[in-house]
Amino acid sequence: MPKKSVKKSAKKTVKKSVKKVTRKAGVGRPKGSGKYGCPTKLIRVPAHLVQEVLDFALQKNKANSK
C-alpha cells in the first residue's frame, strides 16, 4: 500500500525590514532650550519610587533657587 503524501503547510518567511534610524542635523528642539536650560537625561525609576524621586527633586530645586 503506498504512503499517503501529507501536505505540510508552507510557511512563508517574513522578512522584517530593519530601518536604520538616523537623526538629521537641525531636527528637533535646540539643545539647552528646555525648561531647565541645560542638557537633560532620561532615567528609569521603579514605579513605587516615582513620588519620592519627584519630592526629592522639588526639594533640591527649592533649595537651589533660594
pLDDT digits (tens, 9 = 90+) for 14-38: 566 666 767 677 777 777 787 778 8
- What the block records as the C-alpha cell of 45 is 525609576
Across the range 25-53, mean pLDDT stands at 85
Q: What percent of the chain has pLDDT over 90?
A: 27
What's the angle, vertex CA 37, arms to CA 45 and CA 40, rounded to 5?
25
